[in-house]
Amino acid sequence: MTIRRRHFLQWGAGAAIALAAHACSNPQASVSENESAEDPGKISIGFWPVASGLPLFVAVEKGYFAAAGLNVEAVKFASPNQVAEALIAGRLQGTGNGVASGALGLAEITSPGLFKILTSNPSNAEYILDQVIVAKDSPIQTIADLNGKSFATGPGAQNLAIAEAILAAAGVTEPRVQQLEISQHVAAIESGQIDAAYTLEPTGTVGELKGITRILENGVVSKYILGEPMAPWFGGSAALSSAFIEQYPESTVIYAEAYRQAVQDIRDNPAEARQYLTGYTAIEGELVEKVPMVGYTMYDEFTPEDIAYFQKFFDFMTEKEIFARSIDVGALLYQPA
């Protein structure tokens, strides 16, 4: 199933729907009608301030959690690794979309059984997140032209492994890769410090709007690591801690359905939903309307093909020794009791 087709999926079926039967049998019903007798108190959800975190922002700002009787607090962190560390430490009950699936995988290895995935955000050549950028007037026309050129990637072992794998798959035999904060990629290209960068949106859009850089290729993880330009790369995920799910099973179902309502808003009216990027991310002004959107896949919308591609990415992480052991993606997906 393509991500395009998945954008037209409506409310999922399964055990979660059985537990929230009234709301799902009556689409006009308010989420608040599913309030639970449980009292989980404040639910702290960590997020990285990127565009793919949009469902959390929408659910908070449009009051979907509050209408369901949940006190949800969105907590901003500077990096996905910091979100994962706070989840391990018990300071968070979950994560929003955009938090790197790789960082969550590392957290799972550190603390087995730590969380379950509610929603992942796939990207590819059409639903854009990852890309290689070069200077606007650079003679570089393909990734293969980067042989011997200076190339930047974001910090961390995951970004380095992805960048090196992309270059190798494109036939680059003399990679010169350095790690650099993604926010510095456009300026580094402008100054001549680097020739190109593997980066994430909105970097490419910002560079183009400023007339500094151009996008050489989008969806590079799907093409060069997963082997298919339209393959879904589940680069980020929203999750809840297993401890929260076990202690508050009814509240978990209600939380998931409120989150689903936000995802559906984005699918049905992305232009209206975009406004909620402002305040949660550095994206504002003209960029709000220009930055590409990724897809969203709820836990009960994953197809066997989706899981296979997600697993292929995690197997890549194991092969590159970023993960100390293999991780079964299917076992990480939330399954209502």
Q: Hey, where are the domains in the chain?
A: 3-124+232-332, 130-218
Q: Which positions of the chain have pLDDT values less than 70?
A: 1-36
Q: How far apart are CA 169 and CA 160, in angstroms?
A: 14
Query: Residue 3: its pLDDT value, please?
Result: 43
The CATH number of the domain covering residues in 3-124+232-332: 3.40.190.10
Residue 5 in contact with residue 234, Cβ under 8 Å?
Answer: no
Q: Please count the residues of the chain.
A: 337
Query: Residue 156: its pLDDT value, please?
Result: 83
Query: Residue 333: its pLDDT value, please?
Result: 98
Query: Residue 36: its pLDDT value, please?
Result: 57
Please, what is the end-to-end C-alpha distance for the chain in angstroms? 27
Q: Dihedral, CA atoms, 220, 331, 108, 259, nearest 10 degrees?
A: 70
- Amino acid identity at 217: E
Q: How far apart are CA 243 and CA 55, in angstroms?
A: 23
Q: Do domains 3-124+232-332 and 130-218 have the same CATH topology?
A: yes
Q: Give the dihedral sign, CA 239/245/248/249.
A: positive
Q: How far apart are CA 325 and CA 155, in angstroms?
A: 22
pLDDT, one tens digit per residue, over 42-95 is 999 999 999 999 999 999 999 999 999 999 999 999 999 999 999 999 999 999
Minimal CA–CA distance to 2: which of 310, 306, 333? 306
Residue 314 in contact with residue 105, Cβ under 8 Å?
Answer: yes
The 3-state secondary structure of the chain, one letter per residue = CCHHHHCCCCCCCCHHHHHCHHHHHCCCCCHHHHCCCCCCCEEEEEECCCHHHHHHHHHHHCCHHHHCCCEEEEEECCCHHHHHHHHHHCCCCEECCCCEHHHHHHHHHHCCCCEEEEEEEEECCCCCCEEEEEECCCCCCCHHHHCCCEEEECCCHHHHHHHHHHHHHCCCCCCEEEECCHHHHHHHHHHCCCCEEEEECCHHHHHHHCCCEEEEEECHHHHHCCCCCCCCEEEEEEEEEHHHHHHCHHHHHHHHHHHHHHHHHHHHCHHHHHHHHECCECCCCHHHHHCCCCCCEECCCCCHHHHHHHHHHHHHHHHCCCCCCCCCHHHHECCCC
Minimal CA–CA distance to 266: which of 257, 278, 253, 275? 275
DSSP-assigned beta bridge partners for residue 185: none
- Amino acid identity at 137: D
Task: Find out if CATH 3.90.1580.10 is the number for domain 130-218.
Answer: no
Query: Residue 35: its pLDDT value, please?
Result: 53
Cis amide bond preceding 202, omega within 30: yes
Please name the residue that has the structure tokens 């151009």: 214
Q: How far apart are CA 325 and CA 318, in angstroms?
A: 6
Tokens for 130, please give them. 């990852």
For the beta carbon of residue 241, count every other beta carbon within 10 angstroms: 21
Please name the residue that has the structure tokens 């399954």: 335
Query: Residue 11: its pLDDT value, please?
Result: 29
Minimal CA–CA distance to 167: which of 232, 233, 228, 221? 221
